[in-house]
A and B are shown apart, each in its own frame.
Chain A
């Protein structure tokens, strides 16, 4: 399946929710989508377009909004596909991909830990790199590299 077929198929299934398809070297392109259809889109990509494997989930803080991106792999086409969506900075919430691709579990925990994106429906959305009791999402642009003495961290006692 080439990029045109994929783009047409997705636009037919989710009218108005596919915001654009860019070419991206070595992949089936980058699909920008509306976060409201995330769960249905993931299911459709896995079941109808045979993207059986989720390689990674990442998030970026662009100050005015936060971008979440997914990299999918299709064994049938031997192609990658990149999904990208923008979330409002005030409430960065998106449906979790764990029910569709279990490999998203740790990646979504990382995105929550470092960038503060909430994944609804994640079975175990805890911090993964920082301890519980750490008050910050340190890869946000609003996180200042301050003097380490100012960092307030509650260290739990066993």
Chain B
């Protein structure tokens, strides 16, 4: 957060490169978080009015954060330069933002199970049979 928020366009290029990096490495995580940007707004709930945030006068922007989750190294020492960036999405840009978001995720996340599973199923069955015969 120290570096501040980046623009939406910059955000997508960095996100794409982070996903690609994880993909190449063969293991790791990409964390994405979204929440309402309530900093410096009057709509935050307080003791006097706990429901103040339910019906704000104007739409509020959304904060989207990305991290690779490596805040600590293996021996629990704080990681000095973790991958971490955030962007602010205005309410009227939400639709275009999430359309692009979906595109980046679909293109980048190639390790998930594909729709076509026929080949993998065959090899799996063969492997199981072989193990049984040996045991």
- Co-complex (A, B): no
Residues in B lying within 8 Å of A, measured CB to CB: none
Residues in A lying within 8 Å of B, measured CB to CB: none
